[in-house]
Homo-oligomer: A and B are copies of this chain.
């Protein structure tokens, strides 16, 4: 994991909570991340919010014990799903299990610090705008494509949230409903969501379902497609088509100057970006073709955004 800097300011704790793992770090007064690491998200059971906060407290205790001279003035953490950042509430997260959980208040009490809570991808997108790949543009869509697909919309450089409901591009439908959509039932309960076809998770899962093989993620399916495996080629082609369709819709509706793509799938590099640019351009007519750019902060963007939010409180 690359160490990155957020500039001078108060020391802060930061956490990026995902369905699979939690990234944590302590940023010092120079803005350098200390003890940045990734640990598995524990099973959250029937009390997901308090179980998660217990884990953040444990990680916080370890970081502070390792760096006793760096005393955090605030903490920031980011989670997936629907987040009402203004109210400090985790409204819904399909992979983590809470509904209307007062995450910010729970964390502030447990860590005894002022706490900022935000949505992981909005936070990552904001960090890309402050520090990374979206710096040059004000009207930007950011897509993080991994296990699922999350998105965020920056308008005039400011995240547009709609009370936490905006940016759910992974859960925008890209197909007809059932019967065709029946095969595309999403974990969220709807049919034909973009992430049932175009996420890295879906690419690996669909290949496994059709062949009985267990590929090492979307990366292996894409490599197999390049090597002439017909099933892999079709699944990768359908993912690229669905993604290009969704980007064409976003282009028509929002007219962004740039679309930033990050997350695990973005590591496919030219195999993804060249194809998406060509297919998107082929779908547009009078529309303004957005720049399609890779995220620059990589996996750390959410954590850096959490640290920047914590700095705002300190």
Contact = CB atoms under 8 A, between A and B. Distances in A.
Interface of A: 82, 92, 94, 139, 151, 153, 155, 160-169, 171-174, 176-177, 186, 188-191, 241, 245, 248-250, 252-257, 282-288
A253 B255 contact: no
A43 B161 CA distance: 45
Given A173-B249, A249-B249, A255 B162 contact: yes
Contact of A254 (B162, B190, B284): B162
A188 to B, nearest CB: 4
Give the residue among A164, A165, A167, A190 with the most B Cβ atoms within 10 A: A165
B241 A283 contact: no
A195 to B, nearest CB: 11
Contacts of A190: 248, 283-285, 287
B253 A191 contact: no
A6 B112 CA distance: 55
A83 to B, nearest CB: 12
Nearest to A82: B286
A314 to B, nearest CB: 28
B287 A171 contact: yes
Nearest to A290: B165
B168 A255 contact: yes
Nearest to A141: B253
Contacts of A252: 168-169, 171-173
Nearest to A241: B176
A162 B177 contact: no
13 contacts: A94-B286, A162-B255, A165-B288, A167-B253, A168-B253, A172-B249, A173-B245, A173-B248, A176-B241, A249-B253, A250-B253, A253-B253, A253-B254
B286 A255 contact: no
Contacts of A248: 172-173, 190
A184 to B, nearest CB: 12
A188 B285 contact: yes
